[in-house]
Amino acid sequence: MKRSIRTENAAPPGGAYSQAISDAGLLFISGQVGKDPVTGELAPTLTDQVQLAIRNLEAVAVAGGGSLETVVKTTCFLADIGQFEVFNRAYEASFPRPFPARSTVGVSLANGLLVEIEGTAVVNGARRR
């Protein structure tokens, strides 16, 4: 049964979408950005934005019954694909192993965003093997 997930521990949605949707043992987490959930401030550097986006993704995952360990796939959007190595180092330092499957693409992001990360997690007792 489709269920919307909402937590104050992650940056609030900036539009007409849920932070995540849970259905059939999966949690589909909307793109998370490097904004502080309390102050709304955007982190200043790509490294800081990656770390904060992943903390926001984790907060939504936990609210939906998952964790970073249950994330099986991420899609990452970079404002400057030329900064992939900086992004990759911050991502690697923030995610537990084994890393989820991942796609990373260069896109145009608005309002000073340098990165956005969405994810899919296994939840509700379903087990990742």
pTM of the model: 0.94
Could you tell me the domains of the chain? 3-122 (3.30.1330.40)
CA dist 52 and 58 (Å) reads 10
Catalogue the E-assigned strands of 34-123: 71-78, 101-106, 115-122
Note the pLDDT of residue 124.
Answer: 74
Note the pLDDT of residue 125.
Answer: 61
Neighbours of 101 (CB within 10 A): 11
**Residues of the chain by 3-state class (helix, strand, coil), percent to 5:** 25, 30, 45
Reading the chain (129 residues) residue by residue, the pLDDT tens digits are 899 999 999 999 989 999 999 999 999 999 999 999 999 999 999 999 999 999 999 999 999 999 999 999 999 999 999 999 999 999 999 999 999 999 999 999 999 999 999 999 999 765 544
Say whether 109 sits in a helix, a strand or coil.
coil
